[in-house]
Amino acid sequence: MLQAPEAPLITENGMPHSPTQRLTLALGLVLVLTTIGGLMAYSALGDTGSTKLWLGVTLGLAWVAGIAAVLTSGGAGGASLAKAAEAAEALARFDLTQPIGSGGSGEMGRLMSALQDTQSALQKIITDVRSAADSISTASSEIATGNFDLSQRTEQTASNLQNAASSMSELTGTVKQTADAAMTANQLASSAATVARRGGDAVSQVVSTMEEISQSSRKINDIIGTIDGIAFQTNILALNAAVEAARAGEQGRGFAVVAAEVRSLAQRSAGAAKEIKTLISASVERVDSGTQRCRRPAAR
């Protein structure tokens, strides 16, 4: 805020100024300071329009007219001039707390009224400047708060991006592990397929071998049947020989003993042949069953 020095009350010769001189100096300072202060205040408020500029010029002209009227008027008393000078000096110091009384009628009254209007105008300017300063302070606080919120949101966003990057890194590692596991599984599947092919070949060989065993068993069974037939014929021949030995009497007794032994041997051979035939038949059935079981997986 502009601050003017107090108007000097003592001349260079050490004599006090007259009320008229004091008033003239104070009004001149008020004129200059009011005009400059008003323009600076309105500029600070962001309003430098022609209306307020014209208002400042008008007030300045009014002050000049008032000063001229007072200086050319001979009707004003010393007390009234001193009172006006004190009011003008207070305004020149920007002391707006001092009340300004009325100067009655006439030019002095107009001057005092102009001083009152000037005091009111200066008070309004100061009030407007303070209000603008408060508004600027409030706006600055809101901007600071907004900047703080923006900073926090920016930090949160950065943190989220960092977490996302970490998650992507973990996901990349997981995908790589999955790819490695899939490759390993493919290798195992290939190995299993190779083993399965080998197993299929082995099963085919087993089936072929069991078919050969089955054919051999059938041949053995046929041979056993032949042996059984021979034993049956031998038994018949031994029986006939025993009959003939009985007819021969004492001469055929030895032959009868041999015939009995041959018959016993034939019966035993027939029994053994039957047992072997039974075992061979069971073996053939089992080989056939095993062959069928081996053929089923091979067919699939």
Residue 293, pLDDT score: 72
Place of tokens 């008229």: 20
Q: Which region, left, alpha or beta, applies to residue 28 given φ > 0 means left and ψ of -120 to 50 means alpha?
A: alpha
* 143, 152, 164 from 157: Cα distances, Å: 20, 8, 10
Tens of pLDDT, residue by residue over 233-281, are 887 877 777 777 777 777 766 767 777 777 777 777 778 777 887 887 7
Beta carbons within 10 angstroms of residue 17's beta carbon: 16
Residue 104, pLDDT score: 66
Say if CB 131 and CB 108 are below 8 A apart: no
Both tokens of residue 282? Answer: 């069971």
What are the phi and psi torsion angles at 10 (to 5°)?
-125, 135
Residue 143, pLDDT score: 92
Residues constituting the chain = 300
* CA 7/CA 82 separation, integer angstroms: 13
Residue 7, pLDDT score: 44
The pTM of this model reads 0.41
Evaluate whether the domain defined by 198-299 bears CATH number 3.40.50.970: no
DSSP-derived letter for residue 7 is P
- Could you tell me the residue ranges of all domains in the chain? 19-152, 198-299
List of the chain residues with pLDDT < 70: 1-79, 103-105, 252-253, 255, 294-300
